[in-house]
Homo-oligomer: A and B are copies of this chain.
Amino acid sequence: MTSFRIAARVPGAEARTGVLSTPHGTIHTPAFVAVATRGTVKALSVDDLLSLGLEVLIGNTYHLALRPGAEAIASLGGLHGFTGWRGPWFTDSGGFQVFSLGAGKVHGVGKIASVFPGDAPTKPVGASLVYLTEDGAHFRSMVDGAPVFFSPEEVIRLQRLLGADVILPLDECTSPFHDHTYTKSAMERTHRWAERALVAFERTQELGPNPSQVLWGIVQGGAHEDLRRASAKTIAAMGFPGFAIGGSLGRSKDDMLRVIEWTVAELPEDRPRHLLGIGGVEDILAAVNRGVDTFDCAAPTRLARNGVLLTFAEEGFRIAIKNARFAHDDRPIEEGCDCPACQRYSRAFLRHLVQAGELSSYRLATLHNVRFMVRLMDRVRATLSAGCSPTSDVVREPRE
């Protein structure tokens, strides 16, 4: 079974290290969970992931259910057998994709509306492609246009077939531009869906390839203190063995940190806390110091595919390898990095590959950025284990 144990705490603070044990391996927290939306971390192989020291992946129920289909994956051994990644898997419920196709599209926003243009969204991306009811979410498949219905029960059934170690209930993400009234009613519906998910989860234990799965709860409530606290209390009271912080995190980084503080204050101390979709270096450090244990985010891998490489050596923790100053630079991306790209290649050659649009550049950049995230979390855990709070300066120059 999956269990969580707190290993070390920072005196007088929420931050802690822990060990999340799953039937498929151990995750040392705080941990970065690499995004493998369709069963693979983009541009990497399983052998790559193992060589990078990564411990856990998160797949996406929405994408995998539409292609190749949860039944097909179950028949091929679940995510562990099908993808070849036999370590721990999380799956997200598809709630965020429902949001992306619905309110996220209408409001033209993601999890945080960090460039706040006023009281209302100003750049709608399009009309909603989702029809939400009390029963669930109706939408059309992006693969073949067929109608799809995601209910809380169906999303549990799909995740039972996928067989990840940690799964999540269907939730309704709200936008930073939803008002208190809408955010409250969506939150209450998310709570009702969580109850239905728990019932469905209990009834389907024998369905998929991994009867040891655990279902964590998702806290909603937008950036409203009363709602976030109410949601955290309500979801905690349902007895989930772990929790994810979902939905809108407000209109600024400060909003996000307040949302984390309100939520963590109401969650049981002894259970793991996951922050959905956040993975910037500063954001991770701030969230760790507020008691978050795990993070997933597509940014490190997406940045890599855009030629943005993460490094401890620069302000902002990144360089754009296309920059002309790297054209004759025979140094590795980062001195001291042990990733395959830094071990073998110069900045000049990587820049050439990126400029030429060579496929190999996507993998090499991704290898580096994922290894950076693993090294970052190693430094975070070492700092916490020494009883200190990790900061930018500390992770930049860790003590030996």
Contact = CB atoms under 8 A, between A and B. Distances in A.
Contact of A359 (B75, B76, B359): B359
Interface in A49-97: 67-68, 72, 75-77, 82-84
B45 A349 contact: no
A344 B359 CA distance: 21
Identical chains bound together, number: 2
Interface in A22-65: 38-47
A269 to B, nearest CB: 39
A178 to B, nearest CB: 32
Contacts of A75: 328
A346 B76 contact: yes
A363 interface: yes
A356 B38 CA distance: 8
Contact of A352 (B68, B340, B353, B362): B68
A19 to B, nearest CB: 27
Nearest to A356: B38
A345 interface: yes
A107 to B, nearest CB: 28
Interface string A173-207: 00000000000000000000000000000000000
Given A47-B344, A340-B47, A42 B349 contact: no
Contacts of A47: 340, 344
A349 B38 contact: no
A38 B75 CA distance: 42
A358 B42 contact: yes
A276 interface: no
A76 B330 contact: yes
A236 B83 CA distance: 54
A348 interface: yes
A46 B327 contact: no
Contacts of A360: 40-45, 363
A84 to B, nearest CB: 5
A355 interface: yes
Interface of A: 38-47, 67-68, 72, 75-77, 82-84, 305, 327-328, 330, 340, 344-346, 348-349, 351-353, 355-356, 358-360, 362-364
Given A46-B344, A72-B348, A84-B349, 7 more contacts: A38-B353, A45-B360, A45-B364, A67-B356, A72-B328, A77-B330, A82-B348
